[in-house]
Structure 1
């Protein structure tokens, strides 16, 4: 199976458009020489131990949930551990792909898996994802003749890179030709400047901001109103079992005990304080929060369970492996990393 075909399957399962704008997702390392994809390795983090595992397996594609290349780099040198891993992937002809927050956001993704550890409930998204066209503004104006319309359109096209503008005009009437133009945020200012140079568009111009439509079930974080409320102590045991951990960290909310009832729980995989901070819930579940973020939650009467960052995400890999494997031919083997683990442990 070709790399592009596997990438198409990954995109179908979790569109990269769902990722946060700050994230670095998608194909991060692409081999120069195409080779059939026979072995895919799933890992939460691409570390030296995981790369050794991939080399032993003669892996063709590494799907690393966290992007091993995140910030811009100016050189590939041996002094930086992430750059060393990228070099080894290139030398071995391995592709590296990262889905990160697209998996967090998607319906049935990491956060739905995480909140499911407490049992069934009415689940809602905390930070709604939006879809739709990339165009952010609509400009409506009039021109007096087809000749004026052609002149305006030619000027707009000259200032555009070919992707930022879409223009349509209606049939002329007694007042002229009604024109509607949609553009991206980057094309808004130059487009307006061009229209203001023409008398008819200048006098009739109106600008509307376009909102992207919400994508039901997709977005960051989840809030569950549990069908069967549990105690804090039971919630701890359920999450230990769900995450496969012997230990979790707990901060009891003000006035709460281990026997206090949990009717509502808010979760965010990874580092979740920015998503959870304004939420009202009996319990927060995430990988990590700062000391002061925990204090803020506790003061509001919200208990907090912390698993350490990647422990709140890693278990989803097994779920995704099954989804991916059934969509790939039998000739492609999808393997869960055995070397991948959270760098922190309780000692």
Structure 2
């Protein structure tokens, strides 16, 4: 039987893979309008929150809008319900529609906007172009009776411990003997009150992202057979997982810049692109960054990109890149709309796994302000 979900539950699922910690400093995001402590039956994903999108949400009975671009980017000094953002805000409040935005955190997230763009362009083994966040690690050492090792190992791995690259549930174990004397107020899993006990145990070591440490410790205390599990936490001087803006990877086969520009038009579903560089230039290594990526072209050039795909390229940025031999393709800012279907599919899968009676829809309204002729 399907379960009723609250809006904050859906946002919690979404933030499991696009957490707010990945957002750049001072980047607006999170709750924009409304409240999260209400039931939800329909969610709408959108690039922008325009009046047309809100009208669509009203028509479809949507309770929660998840947008990439924040509706409120700068502090408002007034809300005029006849102009600007006023009509949008008024309609959302009147129809109990909550608006939530995930901006640069969705750009940086694994499986977020830039991974969606890299996948659409067919980039192989893409890496982060502009690192913005590195997950700090801790080492967790826990002592487990031999008969409970596999149960504890599985539970810790499921909670997020022991993830190294594309490997999960990574641990290292050493056999040993644990000793303890249960006190008068204890109810020991093994042993007798007041008597020294010797137990065959395994010293299990694993790494844990700092952000997941509270959850992992909670799981540990729940699954460990002892009333008081013995564990240690150590600092680790190892690089954690790196998140950031843009991606850089290889095409399956090289092609000319002219052919690649046509590929961008087709793959990203745009009618036209602006191109910097000679038509016959060879393209194999590609950098892509959704939105306005003007200031990041040097990173693309330093990492050996043959072409940099990004939006809103300035005139002088194009000239500077051209002088350094970096080709560019500008498909516009609106290609970030790839996130509508991408977020819809991923979030719907999460909702289904949880058994929530929630339908996730991708907006069918285009928020592209430009037309091409």
Counterpart check, 1:344 vs 2:347: no
CA shift for structure 1 position 213: 7.8
Identify the residue that residue 235 of structure 1 maps to in structure 2: 260
Aligned equivalent of 1:84: 87
Work out which of the residue numbers 231, 237, 241 in structure 2 matches 1:216: 241
TM-score (norm 1): 0.71
Residues 11-26 of structure 1: pairs in structure 2 closer than 5 A: 11-26=15-30
**Structure 1 residue 45: Cα displacement:** 0.6
- Cα distance, 1:35 vs structure 2: 3.5
In the TM superposition, what is the alpha-carbon distance from 1:227 to its structure 2 partner? Answer: 4.6
CA contact (8 A) 1:294 1:304 kept: yes
Distance 1:263 1:271, change over 3 A: same
* Residue aligning to 1:192: none
- Alpha-carbon shift at residue 231 of structure 1 (Å): 1.9
Q: CA deviation at 1:212?
A: 11
Name the count of aligned residue pairs: 265
Where does residue 5 of structure 1 map in the other structure?
9
Q: What are the superposed Cα offsets for residues 4-30 of structure 1, whole Å, 9 maximum, x if unpaired?
A: 111111111211111111211111112
Q: Is the 8 A contact 2:130 2:299 kept in 1?
A: no
Q: Tell me: CA distance 1:90–1:221, structure 2 relative to 1, closer, same or farther (3 Å).
A: same
Q: What are the within-5 Å matches in structure 2 for residues 1-347 of structure 1? A: 1-31=5-35, 34-128=37-131, 129-132=133-136, 215-252=240-277, 257-280=278-301, 281-311=305-335, 313-328=336-351, 329=355, 331-347=357-373
Q: TM-score if structure 2 supplies the norm length?
A: 0.66
TM-superposed deviation, 1:61: 0.3
User: Cα 1:9–1:124, aligned 2, differ >3 Å: closer, same or farther?
Assistant: same
**Does the 8 A contact of 1:30 with 1:96 survive in 2?**
yes
Gaps of at least 5 residues in structure 2 are 138-234
1:34-91 deviation digits (Å, cap 9, x = unpaired): 5421111111011111111111112100111100011112332225422331222112
Bigger Cα displacement from structure 2, 274-283 vs 262-271 = 274-283
Structure 1 gap segments, 5+ residues each: 134-209
Distance 1:215 1:102, change over 3 A: farther
Superimposed CA distance per residue, residues 173-216 of structure 1 (whole angstroms, 9 cap, x where no aligned partner): xxxxxxxxxxxxxxxxxxxxxxxxxxxxxxxxxxxxx9998653
Distance in 2, matches of 1:227 and 1:211, equals 37
> What displacement does 1:320 show?
1.6
The answer to whether the 8 Å contact 1:130/1:212 transfers is no
Do 1:221 and 1:276's aligned partners in 2 also have CA atoms closer than 8 Å?
no
